[in-house]
Amino acid sequence: MKLPVHDTSARQHSGESFSGLGANGGRKDRPRNPDRPAFDCEIAELVDRSTQELRHAWRTLHHTGPPLGLSRDLIIRGVVDKLQQRANGGPTRALQRRLRILAAEFAKGARSFDPGGVLKIGTTLVRQWRGHTHTVLVREDGFEYEGQRYRSLSVIAERITGAHWSGPRFFGLGKRARSF
């Protein structure tokens, strides 16, 4: 079984223009790989390999065996992903960190969270409240306010106001504030 070749892909490999975006598909951040057709063929040939060969390729690339019960299709996808990361570079460190944070929130049982609301370490949040300026430092393990560490902005907002507040809203991190 072979992967279908789409018209744009066939035109790309034949040298015909296919999009008007240029030879790099509009991406100026990475040079075009001259061995791309050979790489694409290598990926397409994975479908013809035996499951045993695919498991061996997974072990070679991931340095561990595929998870038990993983379907053949997902093994192929995992091998292809790793090959593409090697050829084109993997996710940035910032993206890896963000994914770890989201996975940790999910593991803690958070039912919903805003992946766009992740603050960078070292960010300082400043809020005026009843004539006083309150400053919070974003740390890797939470927040620091008046020399004490907190895991939640809401706890800090409650300490400042004496009433329950949404910490992100209190410090102006709502959806409207982020869009500007």
pLDDT in tens, 110-133: 665 555 566 888 999 999 999 999
User: Left, alpha or beta for 15 (phi > 0: left; psi -120 to 50: alpha)?
Assistant: left
pLDDT in tens, 19-65: 333 344 334 444 455 577 777 888 888 899 999 999 999 999 989 99
pTM: 0.41
Position 71 confidence tier, pLDDT thresholds 50, 70, 90: very high
Question: With contact defined as beta carbons under 8 Å apart, do 72 and 51 qualify?
Answer: yes
Give the whole-angstrom CA distance, residue 169 versus residue 177: 9
